[in-house]
Amino acid sequence: MSVNQNKIDNEDLIICRCEEISKKEILEAIADGARDLRGVRIRTRAGMGLCQGRSCEVLVRKIISQQLGTNLKELPPSTIRPPVRPIELRLFRGNNNDFKQ
Amino acid sequence: MTLNNNLDAVVVGGGVIGASCAYFLTKAGMKVGLFEKGDIASGSSGGCDGSIMAQDHQPGYDTNLTIISNKMYKELLKELDWDIEYSEKGSILVIETEDELKFILDRMKQQLACGLPVRFVDKDELYQQEPLLAPGFLGAIECSSDAACMPIQVAIALVRKARSLGAEIHTFEEVNDVKLDKKGKISGIVTVEGEISTSRVINCCGAWAPFLGKMVSLDIPITPRRGQLVVVEQTAQVGHRIMCEAHYIVAKFHPELAEGADSDILKYGIAFNFEPTASGNMLLGSCREFAGYDTRTTLPAIRAIVQRAIHFIPSLKYLHCIRTYAGLRPYTPDHLSIVSQVDEVPGFYIAAGAEGDGIGIAPITGLLMSQIILGQKTTIDTYPLRWSRFSES
């Protein structure tokens, strides 16, 4: 996926909208030792909000790759954890026997 | 970064325990290097909740350790220049049956003797305080000093502070070997980047401590115990304190009271645990299971955690789960951490094995390790935490 370069040059630009994290904060996280999506996530909360990084992940990857000079394809993906999208807790019904044939 | 080829101490592990050891040793004037195979807090410190809780501990040494450590957190807030989201929000232990009530009230007397600020909250007061709690509970024990923090930020804050005081921080640099001299003393480590000489190595690898132990022919009895957690969306928090259940503590000492419980609760070691976080989310736990080094979450355990939470706070039903995660608690057979020198390998030290209490006791663990290494009088007796206890029995 490509990102228009000019659009992410502004350091005040909010990259993670769920947690309101700017590009500047992401750059600081990388300077502090973050090398991948998880490193940025734990230092800034980018990707820890309601959408779990589904919106900002592409942009954060791009910024990391620019800063560290790593190939975008070589950056590991973020840890995938269920659920794929927010679900109501009442849906966790039933018990383990439901899986048995 | 250029490697300092002669370090006073090498800390292996970049979780809260390693970060705390690095900080206190550096503060004491030592030239310290911290080596971590991944990023800071990439293991258990990044896969747990943030409770700094004393009320769910055994009254006595275990409780005292947490009381001291919690006080240290308040001092650390003044020293660290990074927000660790510490809040002394208090906790309540909810009581469901008459059998639990009797046991818990007896236990409270022992907790008071330890100096823990606990009190019984009767049914009327409990429902005034927690109107969203399901009906039918008998009361609760409140502990006003229990607190919560953000464990990842604790590790980052301590590492940053240690670095600013002169410690070398080597993340993404795995230790592949530990070198001994002809007399069997520690002489250095070998990492992917090269060799570093040092006369002291501190094993702060948590659930992975046995791997570093093997490099010096030690068999460290730590087993990974998986805990899974549920993250609830940011919305009006359904409780403002840490909440947990009395049943689990009672069942530990009176297994007959656990009979008839849902089989999934026993199978996955489920106990209701609720933690409102500084970000506005809520964390639901807990479970304890032996599953090797697998850090995935599983539907049966997550479902049991959620159902148990809804049993206590029904309105959670309509809130959303945004993520699940898991971490490996470093379990020891006697449920006590190891904070000790190792006599058979001079220069080798262990600070690991706190199971689910690593966040709570991280400050005191780092301080004790620095006192042990410098030969100072320790803040609390470290005899119960000694390494040699495993070869005595």
Q: Is the pLDDT of residue A74 over 50?
A: yes
**Residue B114 · residue B66 · CB < 8 Å:** no
Residue B7: its H or E element: strand B6-7
Q: Is B55 inside any structural domain?
A: no
- Counting the structural domains of chain B, the total is 2
Q: Give the span between the Cα atoms of B308 and B304, in whole angstroms.
A: 6
Do B22 and B127 belong together in one domain? no
Phi–psi pair at B203, nearest 5 degrees: -85, 105
* Domain C-terminal end among B331, B349, B377: B331
ipTM over 0.85: yes
Please give the residue of chain B at the shortest CA–CA distance from A91. B317
CA A32 from chain center: how many Å?
A: 17
Cβ burial, residue A84 (10 Å; 0-12/13-18/19+): exposed
Residue A40: C-alpha distances to residues A47, A48, A81, B31 (Å): 9, 10, 17, 28
pTM: 0.95
Which three-class secondary structure string do you get for B57-103? Answer: CCCCHHHHHHHHHHHHHHHHHHHCCCCCCCECCCEEEEECCHHHHHH
Tokens of A34: 């973050």
For residues B202 and B348, give the distance between their C-alpha atoms in angstroms, rounded to a whole number: 6
Query: In what helix (H) or strand (E) does residue B213 lie, and over which residues does it extend?
Result: helix B209-214
Distance of CA B340 to the CA centre of its chain: 17
Q: Are residues B114 and B262 in the same domain?
A: yes
Sheet holding B6-7, edge to edge: B6-7, B194-198, B186-191, B175-180
B156 to chain A, any CB pair closer than 8 A? The answer is yes
DSSP secondary structure code for residue B293 in this structure: B
Domain boundaries, chain A: 13-71
pLDDT at A101 over 50: no
Whether B137 and B277 share a structural domain: yes
Residues B232, B251 within the same domain: yes
Residues B201, B309, single domain; the answer is no
Asked whether B13 and B205 are in contact (CB, 8 A), the reply is: yes
- Residue B342 is encoded by which pair of tokens? 């190792």
State how far Cα B181 lies from the chain centre: 34
Q: Based on the fold, state whether residues B250 and B383 are members of the same structural domain.
A: no
Q: Considering the domain boundaries, does residue B365 fall inside one?
A: yes
B282 vs A contacts (CB less than 8 Å): none
User: B130 and B186, same structural domain?
Assistant: no
pLDDT computed for residue B248 by the predictor = 82
Consecutive 10-residue averages of pLDDT for chain B (393 residues): 74 98 98 98 96 94 97 97 96 95 95 97 97 97 98 98 98 98 97 96 98 98 97 94 92 69 82 96 95 96 96 97 98 96 98 96 98 98 98 80
Last residue of a domain, one of B309, B331, B353: B331
Is B300 close to A48, i.e. CB distance below 8 A?
no
- Taking the Cβ of residue A68 and every Cβ of chain B, the question of whether any pair is shorter than 8 Å is answered with no
**From the CA of A63, how many Å to the nearest CA of chain B?**
18
Coil/strand/helix, residue A88 = strand
CATH code (residue B227): 3.30.9.10
Distance CA B127, CA B389 (A): 46
| B74 in any annotated domain | no
- Chain B interface, mutation test: which of A18, A21, A30, A42, most B Cβ atoms within 10 Å? A42
Domain residues for the domain of B188 are: 6-46+152-222+334-392
Would you state the pLDDT for residue A79? 83
Which CATH number is B214's domain given?
3.50.50.60
Predicted local distance difference test score (pLDDT) of residue B249: 86
In angstroms, what separates the C-alpha of B357 from chain A's closest C-alpha? 21
Q: Percentage of chain A surpassing pLDDT 70?
A: 86
B229 domain-assigned: yes
Superfamily of domain A13-71: BFD-like [2Fe-2S]-binding domain (1.10.10.1100)
**Pair A22, A14: CB distance under 8 Å:** yes
Considering the domain architecture, whether residues B231 and B138 belong to the same structural domain is answered as yes
B321 and B253 assigned to the same domain = yes
CA-closest candidate to residue B222, choices B230, B232, B214: B214
Expressed in percent and rounded to 5, the helix, strand and coil fractions of chain B are 35, 25, 40
The reported pLDDT for the residue numbered A80 is 85
Q: Identify whether B78 is part of a domain.
A: no
If you average pLDDT over residues A85-91, what whole number do you get?
95
pLDDT in tens, A26-56: 999 999 999 999 999 999 999 999 999 989 9
Let me know whether B26 and B169 are in one domain.
yes
User: What pLDDT sits at residue B2?
Assistant: 45
User: In this structure, are B342 and B302 located in the same domain?
Assistant: no
List B residues 274-333 in contact with A (Cβ-Cβ < 8 A): 279, 297, 299-300, 302-303, 306-307, 309-310, 316-325
Q: Are residues B209 and B275 in the same domain?
A: no
